[in-house]
Chain A
C-alpha cells in the first residue's frame, strides 16, 4: 500500500516534496548553529565542570553531536518521506 502510494506520486509532487525536505534540512542547520553558539560561547563563563571538563566544552562538543543526531533522526524518521526515485533499481 505504502509502495503504491509513493509510486503513484507525480514528478511534480516528488520534486516539491524533495524541495521541502531540503528546506527542513537548511532550517535544521540554522537550529544547530544557534545551539552550537549557545552551548559553547554562551556557557563559556560558567564555572560548572563535568568530569573535569568545563560546561562549554561538554555542551559544545558532545552536546552538539547529540543534538545533530537528534536532528538527523527527526529529519530522516519524521520529516523525510519515502519516495520512489524512479528507474528499475528502486525496490
Chain B
C-alpha cells in the first residue's frame, strides 16, 4: 500500500465497519422468516423514510458526485438546469408504478420485477431474457461504480486505487451478501444521509477557501460569462437537454432497481411519504453538489483540463479546500453514492439468477430445494456477481462513464415499454413485449457500437422509439393475453 493520508482513511474504515455491522444485525433479526422474500425484498417492511432514501441512494451514483459537478464546473448553470430534471425520478417511479406493482406483487406473491413480467406475459423465455438483460447491464453499471469510487479514493486519500477497491468494494459485496435487501435499504439510508452531509461540508469549505460567495461569483461573472448562459456558448446544445430528460428523467421509471422498491414497502402511507421525502432529497443533492462544482472555481482557478479533466474537479476541490482531518468525512459522501448503487444492483442481479432463473426452473421440474440451499445459493450468487465485477474493476476498462450511461440506456430500452404498457394497457401481449425487449435492446446496442446517432441525440432516443414501435407491432399482430391473466392485471 502506498503512503497516504491515514486520517482520511480512519473515518472511512469506521463507516464501512458500520455498514457490515448493520447487515449482520439485520441478518440476526430476520432469522426464521421466509428467506427468499426477506433476502430479496426485505419482507415488504420498508417505511416511507427508508423507502425514499434507498430509492434515492440507488438512483444517485458516483457519477452524480464526481463527473456531474465536474461538468458543472466546466459548463456552468446550464448543467444544473439539465441535472434538475432528476427531481422527477422519485415521484414518477413511485407514483406510476409504486402501488400497482405493490398490489400485483401481493396478489402474485412476486418477489422480483421479472416475476411480474413473467406473470403478465406468461412467458418463461421473456423472463429469462429480462433476467439476462438485468445481469448484463447491471454488471456494466456496477463496474463503473467500483472504478469511479476507487479512483476518487486514490485521488483524495493518496492510497492506491487497488487499496480503495479492496476497502469499499469488498465491504459492499460482503454486507450485501450477508444482509440482503433489508440491509441494502438501511445502509442506503445511512449512505444518503452521508451524501447530504458530505455536500454541505464541501460547500462550506469551498466557499470559505474561495473567499466567500460574493467574491467567487463576482470573479466568475467577469472571467467566465459562459457559465451564466443556458447553452454555455455552445457547450450545452439542446440535444443534451432533450436526451437527459429521457435518460435520467422520464425513462428512469422503468429501471428494475427502482421498480423493485415498489414491491418492498409496507403500506400506502409509506409510499406517499417516500414520494415527498425522495423529491426533497434528490433535488437537494443534485442542486447542492452541482452548485458546489461551479463554486469550486473559487478554489481551482484553472480550467478542468489543468486538473486532469472534469472527473478530477471534485477530488481536487476536496483536497484543496477541506482541512485534512475532515477529508475522510467528505469522501464518505461520494463513496456512499457508489456503494449504495452497487448494493442495490447487486441484490437485484442476484435475485434475477436465483429467484427468476434457478428457483423457477426447480419449481417447474418439481425439484425440491431446501431452505438452507436457497440461503446458501442466494448469498453465493450475490458474492460471486460482486466478486466478478470487483475483478473486472481491478483492471479498469477505459471510457468507464460511457459504459455507465450505455447500461442505463440499455435497461431503459429493455424495460420501459414492457413495464409501462404491460401494466397499463390490456392489449399489450407476449409478442409485443418479446419484440420490444429483444429488438429494442439489440438496436440500441448496435447503434451504440456503430456510433450511429440521429440529430446527434443519444442512442436512447433510437432505442426507446424502436422498442415502442416493435411493442405496438407485436401487440397488434400477436395473440391477446388470456382472460385469466387480464383478470389479475386489469380486474
Contact = CB atoms under 8 A, between A and B. Distances in A.
Nearest to A25: B95
Contacts of A32: 87-88
B378 interface: no
B266 A40 contact: no
A89 B45 CA distance: 7
B100 A18 contact: yes
B280 interface: yes
Interface string B421-432: 000100000000
Nearest to A80: B272
A18 B106 CA distance: 15
Interface residues of B, number: 52
Contacts of A24: 95
A56 B217 CA distance: 16
Interface in B72-100: 77, 80-81, 84-85, 87-88, 90-92, 95-97, 99-100
B452 interface: no
A14 to B, nearest CB: 6
Interface in B395-439: 424
Contacts of A72: 90-91, 275-276, 278-280
B23 interface: no
B279 A69 contact: yes
Interface string B203-230: 0000000000110011001000000111
B96 A26 contact: yes
B77 A53 contact: yes
B230 A86 contact: no
A22 B272 contact: no
Interface string B346-387: 000000000000000000000000000000000000000000
A76 interface: yes
A15 B489 CA distance: 8
Given A15-B490, A62-B287, A69-B279, A77 B102 contact: no
Contacts of A68: 87-88, 91, 279, 283
Given A56-B81, A57-B77, A68-B88, A85 B287 contact: no
Contacts of B268: 6, 80-85, 90
A44 B491 contact: no
B491 to A, nearest CB: 4
B245 interface: yes
B269 interface: yes
Contacts of B273: 76
A contact patch SS: helix
Interface in A8-53: 10-12, 14-15, 18-19, 21-22, 24-26, 28-29, 32-33, 36, 40-41, 44, 51-53
A41 B273 CA distance: 32
Contact of B283 (A15, A69, A76): A69
A25 B80 contact: no
Given A11-B491, A77-B272, A85-B102, A25 B283 contact: no
A22 B95 contact: yes
B92 to A, nearest CB: 6
B95 A61 contact: no
B29 interface: no
B95 A21 contact: yes
A89 B87 contact: no
Nearest to A39: B81
A29 B84 contact: no
A80 B424 CA distance: 18
Contacts of A75: 91, 95, 275
B100 A54 contact: no
Nearest to A67: B87
Contacts of A10: 491
Contacts of B230: 40-41, 44, 56, 60
A52 to B, nearest CB: 4
B103 interface: yes
A10 B84 CA distance: 39
A77 B90 CA distance: 16
Interface in B103-117: 103, 106-107
A65 B287 contact: yes
A56 B78 CA distance: 9
A87 B491 contact: no
B245 A64 contact: no
Nearest to B423: A22
B151 interface: no
B287 to A, nearest CB: 5
Interface string B278-307: 111001101100010000000000000000
B84 A19 contact: no
Given A28-B91, A68-B91, A90-B267, 9 more contacts: A19-B100, A32-B87, A53-B77, A61-B80, A61-B291, A65-B84, A72-B90, A82-B268, A86-B107
22 contacts: A11-B491, A22-B97, A25-B95, A32-B87, A51-B213, A56-B81, A56-B230, A65-B84, A72-B276, A75-B91, A76-B91, A76-B272, A83-B99, A84-B268, A85-B99, A85-B102, A85-B268, A86-B103, A86-B106, A86-B107, A89-B44, A90-B268
Q: Sorted from nearest, which 3 A-B pairs have the closest CB atoms?
A: A25-B95, A65-B283, A52-B217
